[in-house]
Chains A and B, each alone.
Chain A
Amino acid sequence: QKEVEQDPGPLSVPEGAIVSLNCTYSNSAFQYFMWYRQYSRKGPELLMYTYSSGNKEDGRFTAQVDKSSKYISLFIRDSQPSDSATYLCAMTDQGAQKLVFGQGTRLTINP
């Protein structure tokens, strides 16, 4: 079993829809949770960063962490065609320098 599981999709939704992307993990030591966005033929770039449990909001994006369920989510409100990309969750534990990435979910927003 992988440490981090993420449905690779693809996921296709109409413009304006609310998108929900999710990851589950098995290592209870993970405390730092991130979402990276990767456009085609580009490297990933950090989108959201959260520590421990709770929610974090940044514009149209909300990251949620539920450590009791070992489950993290990224919500995108009022989705736009420019949000079309692959979204990768990533996480690590205290003091570690290595991020463990999910496989990535390929998302397409249709105009």
Chain B
Amino acid sequence: DAGVIQSPRHEVTEMGQEVTLRCKPISGHDYLFWYRQTMMRGLELLIYFNNNVPIDDSGMPEDRFSAKMPNASFSTLKIQPSEPRDSAVYFCASSFGGGTNEKLFFGSGTQLSVL
């Protein structure tokens, strides 16, 4: 298996533009997590899905952020409109059975820069 695949690896955009980040989880995994990592705040959970259903989106910073998982093999995180403070590395992770007893597999992340 190729692991968790994220695209794009890097995204540079201007303030106010829409940004869409994509994730393909490992086949067979039933949990998918979106994290954001910054120097100041570390790794923060934004939202997670179980069997394609959003379970907890309490970490989504504001209404500008939205996430979808239309099927078991694809998820998107959208920021509209983007702001400079959204600049961070966004990680997608998947697991079978959740993060308590099971290992989380992370993608390589999307480095987002909002100018």
What is A's interface to B at a CB cutoff of 8 Å? 6, 32, 36, 41-46, 49, 88, 92, 94-99, 101-104
Contacts and interface: CB of A to CB of B under 8 A. Distances in A.
Given A97-B98, A98-B48, A43 B42 contact: no
Main secondary structure of the interface of B (DSSP, over half): strand
Contact of B100 (A32, A44, A46, A101): A32
Among B93, B100, B105, residue most surrounded by chain A Cβ atoms (within 10 Å): B100
B91 A98 contact: no
B48 to A, nearest CB: 7
A97 B50 contact: yes
Contact of A43 (B4, B45, B101): B4
B81 to A, nearest CB: 27
Instruction: Across the A-B interface, give the 7 residue pairs with the lowest CB-CB distance, nearest first.
Output: A43-B106, A103-B42, A97-B98, A101-B43, A99-B99, A46-B103, A44-B106
B53 interface: no
Contacts, number: 55
Interface string B76-115: 0000000000000001010000111101111111000000
A95 B93 contact: no
B48 A97 contact: yes
Nearest to A32: B100
Contacts of A41: 108-109
A43 B48 contact: no
A104 B103 CA distance: 18
